[in-house]
Structure 1
Amino acid sequence: MKFAFKFSNLIGTVYRKGNLLFTPDGNTVVTPVGNRLSFFDLRNNKSETLPIESRYNFTAVDIAPSGYLFIAINETGEALLCSLVSRTVLHRHHFRKPVACVKFSPNGKYFAVTKDNAVFVYRTPGHTKREYVPFALERVITTAYDETTCIEWSSDSRLLAVGSKDMSVKVLALHRMTNFAMVTLGSHSDVIVNCFFEKDSADLYTLSRNGQLCVWEANCELADFVSAQNKKASKEDKLGDEDDLAEGGVTAESDITAEHNVLPVEIDDEPKLNESKVLFRRTAKHFMKDALKMDGGAVSLVAACYHRGNRLLATGFSTGAFLLHEMPDYNLIHSLSVSEHEIDAAAFNSAGDWLALASSRRAQLVVWEWQSESFALKQQAHANNMACVAYSPDGAYIATGGDDGRVKLWNASDGFCFVTFSEHAAGISGVTFVQSGRAVLSASLDGTVRAFDLQRYRNFKTLAAPRAVQFASLAVDPSGEVVCAGSQDTFEVFVWSLQTGRLLDVLAGHQSCVSGLSFGPGAESVLVSSSWDKTCRIWNLFAEKGGGREALPLAADGLAVQFRPDGQEFAVATLDGAIVFFEPRTSTQVGSIEGRQDLASGRRDTDLITAKRLTRSQAFTTLCYTADGECILAAGRSKFVCIYHVREQLLLKKFEISCNHSLDGIDDFVSRRKMTEFGNMALVEEREAAQEAALSLPGVKKGDLSSRGFKPEVRVSGVSFSPTGRSWAAVTTEGVLAYSLDQSLVFDPFELEQNVTPATIRAAAKEKDYARAITTAFRLNEDALTTEVVESVPPESVELVARSLPQVYVEKLLAFLGGRLESTTHVQFYVEWIDSLLRQHGEALKERSGKAMATLRTLLKNVTLRHAELAKVCDHNKYLLRYVETLRELKERKGEKGETDDADKEADDAMSSDVDSEDMLVS
């Protein structure tokens, strides 16, 4: 078993907070998801989360016009300069204050950052040449009387428009100009939300939170702005460059103007007499709330975006409505609503045909194509925390259940949700797939177990108890015919037939909540249940009436139970932090793991004891065996997921799921400066005077939306290992974290000898001894070399080479082919390899199907995915050819009909001429 698992994707979370943006090509939308960034490729229908993690949630993001660099700034003001090519962090810079907005200039030379009442302009690193200083300060502009909120660059990157909370917009020049100083634009009575320049013009639009839109027109074009070339400006530029080289960058933001000789904007700069002074005139003022249907209550403008090429203005409001106007005439194009909660962010793509909207309260992200009035993307996460997760038998899909009562199915390869079931009326406590993979079952606190058909996407069975109960656990037997659910209030296990929906039996015996259920993989239908009554019971449902066989005592309350894939062992997690292993045939304990110290819980803001003392109360709440059954995944109320070797009872690896300090329970220690005689100062909420806030209800921790300072606690609610053995998923506070096996990080040779070298492998392939080359390549076990050797085999020799391979290398080659089939372009070649291996060695593989099951599932998953991709192309071509053929037939029929009409017309003309000649003869 290899453990080079690396974070691969974040599933189930589409937006948290911050701004949206598209990549320069306009095909990918970028969203901040907590302390990570997700990229949703709309052309290829795939989502991906970068392996870049910050210490706090991101609030401001922007991508350079070149598409190679991007800057992401978190809540505390820490900026990460990252490369989209290598997907690594190039530099970290701390502004030491929250940043509301960051924006690259259109020419890519600069980027501006808002902080307090100032705007800091930096030179983009590596734009024209390599620089030693990554954040080289160009200018500091301090003009506002309150915090700055937004930045906008002009098309020529020489002008800046800065909005602030003082209800004004400042238009200023990046460098000194002879005919233009700073201009203050008022006319607003609320906080400025955004401002936008017109394309190739100094005209701009300003929007405030109360829905006011002002249109401003300049009395000259951008080309009429004249840069100052006097000696004073030259001297200042020279001094600034010398200081930059001497100091090596910005070290202290507080002394920035003194260290770099960067002067603030002088408001009283007067233009020269021979230059025409640039003035702005307000040409129109619109009240956007008039276009909304308000049913009472306060409505505020929250988000806005503008596309300069198409002159389209999109605005989002706190009611979930958004407006699309054509400017500058202010013509309303669309007025729609996407949710009942406020729209937090909006963005146009480069072409202006897609509009992205995001809502954090609803956890929703949509991309709307306004011309066709259809959605290019519509994704919504669980409204509350996720509670459980399960992989499909082929590993292609992931099912999640949340506290919002919804069951969602996600595609494991692209990360998109393709169906949501919302029939439950309370939180979901368990989800599982039937062995055939055609249905998914869910248990809920509303007292029902529902079965959903994955072909028609409907609820085809609802299983309920004869009295009102709350289900806490769920299990289905390997045949998919028997469903069991454990209750947390009546302490019973209910057994149904999935085919008929009838209640078959009620298993009584537990004296507390039935916390876990698990079926063995054999045909005996052995069920194991764990409970808070410090017992674990084994039930044989078809052996005797009532099914009770034996109760196994535990040292503490049972929290979770899981059967090993081969059915020869099961594990129970207990409240004392231990994992106990039993053999089901003899009902004897075969091992135990003390894992309390491995969880290493952090200290939460409300805790009154240290993290070291908290560790004594930690325990695993979810378990899952690996695909081969040699190791077990365990997690709980902590930021760690542990992998243990079952036989050796050793901790092999710990995965830290998050380092996001915006979550509670990350830090091991609390600073003494925050501890006062009244408690932790981190619990004191700071509210803005202008915002209304409801009082926080005492005792409410989950979903307390009235609290601005609410910090969700980091924890792992469920873990599930993929049947393919190459990935696993964990349900956490931030979403479903998927980890996959990165073969590039593993050097694991097999029977390595001195003569096993890349040179000898290539020499064997050149001599056309392909069987020896393949076996030697697997002994060295390097993917690139193995791919080169396998693809060098001629297609007509595949069957012969497959027949001559030893049995020990057949399964290795099948696993390699299954992994390569997911991304290769030689689909037919790899399918021929798989077909030849299965035909030649099928009987031998069937004898050891237990060990080869993970490999076969990987093959099934990837073959199914490639078949679905090719089926779409083939169907499109087939229907297109049918359409062309139908057009040809219609054209031929029309031509034949035209010829027939011409012949009839000629016959009629001939007949009429004969009649006329006869009339003449008669006369």
Structure 2
Amino acid sequence: MVATTTWLLRAVRQFQDDTNVLKLELEISRPSATWPFKERFSNLVGCVYRKGNIIFTSDGNSVVSPVGNRISIFDLKNNKSETLPVESRMNITVLALAPNGKLMIAINEDGEAHLISLVSGSILHTYHFHCQIHAASFSPDGKKFAVTRENTVKVFHAPGSTMQFNPFVLYRSFYGSYDQNVCIDWTTDSKAFCVGSKDMNTRVYGAEKFSNLIVYSVGGHNDCIFVSVSRNGHVNIWQCDTALDGLIPAEVKIEEVKSEDEEEDEEEDEQKEQEKATQDALEVNQKILYKRLAKFNYKSCHDKEAKLTCADYHKKSRILISGFSDGAFFLHEMPGFILIHSLSSNNYDFSSVSNQSLSTVSFNSSGDWISLGCSSLGQLLVWEWQSESYILKQQGHSSLMTCVQYSPDGQYLVTGGDDAKVKVWNTSTGFCFVTFSDHLSGISAVRFTQSGQVIVSASLDGTVRAFDLNRYRNFRTFTSPRPVQFASLAVDGSGEVVCAGGQDTYEIYVWSMQTGRLLEILAGHTAPVSSLAFTPAHPILVSGSWDHTIRLWDVFVSRGSKEVIQLNSDALAVTYRPDGLELAVSTLDGSLTFWDTHSAAQTASIQGRADLGYTRKEGDRITAKKSAQSKAYTSLCYTADGQCILAGGKSKNICIYSVKDQMLLKKFEITCNLSFDGTLEFLDRRKMTEWGNIGLVDEGQGGNIALPGVRKGDLSSRHFRPEVQVTSVAFSPTGRAFAGATTEGLLIYSLDASVVFDPFDLEEDVTPESVRTQLAENQLLTALLLALRLNEDELTREVIEQIPHEEVSFLCQSLPEIYVDKMLHFVASSLDQSAHLGFYVHWSQQLLLQHGPALKQRAHSIMPSLRALQRVLTKRHSDLASICDHNKYLIQFILSLGESRQKRSLEESHDSDEEDLMQTNGAAASDSDELDFSDIEILK
């Protein structure tokens, strides 16, 4: 199996090398752009956590994390991540999951709550609290959920299986706090709940009406239920003299039907009634009583002057976890406050969060795993405290993501950010598996070599570095004679030449990948070099600059520029079509121009400034329409077939244009998050004051960052709102997805997100019944063609998996050429999902063998399917190789163990034979004294 997969990989790569030579001889007949562009948002992989609380699912195998105004679910068992296709108007800060794991409540910064179904991944209902919400929690029985709203607690009936007009049905409001309530927790039987408030008191309420419990208050805390922890590190343990089954239900009075006027004042009357009942209960000395058993202080185990920022308590195991502002966290066994685990920079290599404040901690259902979130780093950790090992350790870019590119097989994504880090992401799992931190300043560009084994990155620190994906190390560093801030990067098709353009010297530097030596300095531009690109087939370098020109260079022949093309404005981005016959340029005036690479003549032009959209920032003194005149596209990328082009810039839209028709095909809005700046066309006049916008006056709005060099303390904190923009776009070589590096993160739009009915050459008699009829009559080729015409994956898979293995070669030979592309794409997708690996590998092998020469004539159309096949084969080859290596060592161990046992048994049998022989010899010697030594040797 490994040998067959290796042969297929070599065949695919050789086919791609052959087609690269034929690409210049092919004249692509581009039909009118009929690309459906049914891509939908599929995943957010560039960020794992922003702010809010992190929760585990009911089975404890997945972590739910708020990422801006979206929600990501990380499957720890299957090692995959998924982002729900729902968005909120602002950043989500509170999450609550129902015990059945089917419903979830997400509340954003503005107090807008969304009831989300995890089964369908959609928003069922929206309810607005009109204020900031600190905590929400479902009762253990799943019948109610409580929300802390300012100094009140509102308990709602949880939505059930029956249809409801309004899922947020208020059950009762609880009062008594003098300040905001910040946390909440329920008892195990859902009869009572505990609320912590900023007024330094903790209150226990009865969820139902009890005669011996209305409200009970204990003081001095801000995070409490039986075990209370205060911000200054004091821990109190409380015990109730009444068991949970000792609560006495109060007599329920039959309420009369109230009029509409009485219903309007119902909430105020209930508040007054509850305050009066509370005062009466305090005067008569309630029967229920909480007694403080012990009081502890974290100063005994944590000497640093750090504040407690988060805590969680696991009731079954009675373990308390507490996180601090310096990144340390402790596990104590209650009620004895016995330290069972501590983790900080002093006793373990945990430097990634050792100097940053922990935002949230939580236990899973079994209490074995702990999730930790750090909002300042955008980091999410899942820690197994018993074995002291990571289950999950993910961190996005802490600053703006600036560039992105797909690997040649579409299996990986590489990103660079202003945090001077280069990260590589797996497109299948959505996880980052390696981070390179060798640069000292922001990353301006990243590139994959054609082999996909080397990543090259350019940075503003004056270096260009090459990273090896096999050994995960920086094996080559390219520098210039004098310090230069590199703003652009290009690598030729062979991977032997690396070029980088300067932002302050206006020159292009050419290095050799093998030796690392500077080969040449290309001079001619009179402004910063903003973009570089190599042609796919020939080593012709194109450079775009702010001096209103693009230049063509032959880096192997001449020292000067080969051609100079004048533009009407500054060049911001350049890119070649996959066949190398067309060049696209984005300029500062918001237009896209297309040029023929042979004649250097302009072939098309698109004015795209109006498609960027009109948005206005809070600090703008001009209107949105006036502000749009300064916007332009800063990143371009062709689709896999070369018919359309993607464009992104300082806007919340990613636009797709048809090159031939010179028109906009589709516009993708990356976010509707109002927590970002630049998402609204008109500012809210209610936020305008005599000093300007309230967002600029109030420092509490937006995020905060620290001045350079300051690691702790908030004396240097600055408040800002990041501006929404698209810094880079990249289209997958497989043609099934594209990615955009945005302020929100790395957004992936894919065709595989949903099932789309897209038949091919459909007729009246082409039905699933006819396909199954032909299959039952053993008409395999006819059944396969009908299934491919219906273009339903399940039906096609049903037909293919019933075809005998020995008939595959004949069917591939008889398959018409028009169906070969669809068959290749289906085999590639099936290899990624199906367990019949050898069967589909055999299909792909026969397809390439039977239709190889014909496929070379249609290289431009078949390339996305070949890329997809290469990606899946590479993934399966690596998985199979690791399994074979593991099995090889396991078999060697079993064989060695069997040999040792066999050797031991032979030795034991040999010893027993010698003992029998000695006994026989002794008996023979006693019978005859004439037995000599030679006779003994013969007996042996």
Aligned to 2:106: 72
Q: Give the deviation of 1:2 after TM superposition.
A: 3.2
Aligned 8 A contact 1:592 1:649 in 2? yes
Structure 1 position 839 matched with structure 2 position 845: no
Aligned 8 A contact 1:683 1:709 in 2? no
Give the Cα separation in 1 of the matches to 2:235 and 2:911: 66
Match for 2:527: what amino acid? S
Q: Give the deviation of 1:845 after TM superposition.
A: 1.4
Closer, same or farther in 2 for the Cα pair 1:693/1:876, shift >3 Å?
closer
For residues 195-250 of structure 1, the C-alpha deviation after alignment (integer angstroms, 9 at most, x for no partner) is 24xxxxxxx1001111111011111322222222x2xx242xx56xx77xx99xx9
Q: Give the deviation of 1:528 after TM superposition.
A: 0.6
Bigger drift between 60-69 and 535-544 goes to 535-544
For residues 648-678 of structure 1, the C-alpha deviation after alignment (integer angstroms, 9 at most, x for no partner) is 1110000000000000000110022323342
Aligned to 2:14: none
Aligned to 1:599: 612
Aligned to 1:173: 206
Give the Cα separation in 2 of the matches to 1:800 and 1:279: 84
Aligned to 2:64: 30
Match for 1:768: what amino acid? N
Aligned 8 A contact 1:141 1:265 in 2? no
Aligned to 2:6: none
TM-score by length of 2: 0.89
Aligned to 2:249: 227
Aligned to 1:542: 556
Q: Give the deviation of 1:911 after TM superposition.
A: 9.6
For residues 117-168 of structure 1, the C-alpha deviation after alignment (integer angstroms, 9 at most, x for no partner) is 01001111115x4444311111100111100000010011111110000011
Closer, same or farther in 2 for the Cα pair 1:257/1:500, shift >3 Å?
same
Aligned to 1:199: none
Local SS of the residue matching 1:54: coil
Aligned 8 A contact 2:106 2:114 in 1? yes
Give the Cα separation in 2 of the matches to 1:686 and 1:519: 47
Aligned 8 A contact 1:4 1:742 in 2? no
Write the mapping of 1:180-329 to structure 2, written as runs, cut at 5 A. 180-188=213-221, 192=222, 194-196=223-225, 204-228=226-250, 230=251, 233-235=252-254, 238=255, 256-257=267-268, 266-270=277-281, 277-294=287-304, 298-329=305-336
Match for 2:202: what amino acid? V
Closer, same or farther in 2 for the Cα pair 1:260/1:654, shift >3 Å?
farther
Give the Cα separation in 1 of the matches to 2:295 and 2:378: 34
Q: Give the deviation of 1:552 after TM superposition.
A: 0.6
**Unaligned stretches of 5+ residues in structure 2:** 1-34, 345-349, 929-940
Aligned to 2:170: 137
Match for 1:206: what amino acid? S
Closer, same or farther in 2 for the Cα pair 1:392/1:891, shift >3 Å?
same
Q: Give the deviation of 1:896 after TM superposition.
A: 3.9
Bigger drift between 299-308 and 786-795 goes to 786-795
Match for 1:774: what amino acid? L
Give the Cα separation in 1 of the matches to 2:572 and 2:263: 52
Q: Give the deviation of 1:836 after TM superposition.
A: 1.6
Give the Cα separation in 1 of the matches to 2:794 and 2:914: 74
Give the Cα separation in 2 of the matches to 1:653 and 1:33: 26
Structure 1 position 499 matched with structure 2 position 514: yes
Aligned to 1:201: none
Write the mapping of 1:697-736 to structure 2, written as runs, cut at 5 A. 709-736=719-746
Give the Cα separation in 1 of the matches to 2:680 and 2:827: 44
Q: Percent identity?
A: 50
Q: Give the deviation of 1:917 after TM superposition.
A: 13
For residues 230-283 of structure 1, the C-alpha deviation after alignment (integer angstroms, 9 at most, x for no partner) is 2xx242xx56xx77xx99xx998x96455999956831354999x992211111
Match for 1:427: what amino acid? G
Give the Cα separation in 2 of the matches to 1:73 and 1:743: 26
Give the Cα separation in 1 of the matches to 2:212 and 2:300: 39
Match for 2:229: what amino acid? L
Give the Cα separation in 2 of the matches to 1:251 and 1:526: 78
Q: Give the deviation of 1:420 after TM superposition.
A: 0.7
Give the Cα separation in 1 of the matches to 2:174 and 2:435: 49
Structure 1 position 660 matched with structure 2 position 673: yes
Bigger drift between 748-757 and 664-673 goes to 748-757
Aligned to 1:454: 469
Give the Cα separation in 2 of the matches to 1:816 and 1:880: 35
Give the Cα separation in 2 of the matches to 1:292 and 1:133: 48
Closer, same or farther in 2 for the Cα pair 1:917/1:347, shift >3 Å?
farther
Match for 2:213: what amino acid? F
Aligned to 1:6: 40
Partner residue of 1:529 out of 516, 526, 543? 543
Give the Cα separation in 2 of the matches to 1:205 and 1:135: 31
Partner residue of 2:184 out of 120, 143, 151? 151
Aligned to 1:396: 411
Partner residue of 2:899 out of 889, 903, 920? 889
Local SS of the residue matching 1:602: coil
Structure with the greater relative contact order (CA < 8 A, sep ≥ 6): 1 or 2?
A: 2
RMSD: 2.9
Match for 2:386: what amino acid? Q
Aligned 8 A contact 2:220 2:230 in 1? no
Aligned 8 A contact 1:685 1:709 in 2? no
Closer, same or farther in 2 for the Cα pair 1:896/1:618, shift >3 Å?
same
Closer, same or farther in 2 for the Cα pair 1:251/1:6, shift >3 Å?
farther
Give the Cα separation in 2 of the matches to 1:555 and 1:423: 39
Give the Cα separation in 2 of the matches to 1:256 and 1:526: 75
Aligned to 2:439: 424
Give the Cα separation in 2 of the matches to 1:209 and 1:911: 89
Match for 1:558: what amino acid? A
Match for 1:9: what amino acid? N
Aligned to 1:770: 780
Structure 1 position 858 matched with structure 2 position 868: yes
State the number of aligned residues.
Answer: 880
Q: Give the deviation of 1:779 after TM superposition.
A: 3.1
Structure 1 position 84 matched with structure 2 position 118: yes
Local SS of the residue matching 1:101: strand
Local SS of the residue matching 2:88: coil
**Unaligned stretches of 5+ residues in structure 1:** 197-203, 919-923
Partner residue of 1:867 out of 851, 869, 877? 877
Closer, same or farther in 2 for the Cα pair 1:602/1:262, shift >3 Å?
farther
Q: Give the deviation of 1:382 after TM superposition.
A: 1.3
Write the mapping of 1:451-530 to structure 2, written as runs, cut at 5 A. 451-522=466-537, 524-530=538-544
Q: Give the deviation of 1:577 after TM superposition.
A: 0.2
For residues 750-794 of structure 1, the C-alpha deviation after alignment (integer angstroms, 9 at most, x for no partner) is 333444344433333333333233333333333343333333433
Give the Cα separation in 2 of the matches to 1:645 and 1:35: 31
Closer, same or farther in 2 for the Cα pair 1:888/1:268, shift >3 Å?
farther
Give the Cα separation in 2 of the matches to 1:172 and 1:373: 38
Match for 2:860: what amino acid? G
Give the Cα separation in 1 of the matches to 2:788 and 2:89: 41
For residues 94-133 of structure 1, the C-alpha deviation after alignment (integer angstroms, 9 at most, x for no partner) is 1111110000111111110001001001111115x44443
Aligned 8 A contact 1:601 1:618 in 2? no
For residues 412-442 of structure 1, the C-alpha deviation after alignment (integer angstroms, 9 at most, x for no partner) is 1101111111111111000000001110000
Match for 2:339: what amino acid? L
Q: Give the deviation of 1:707 after TM superposition.
A: 5.4
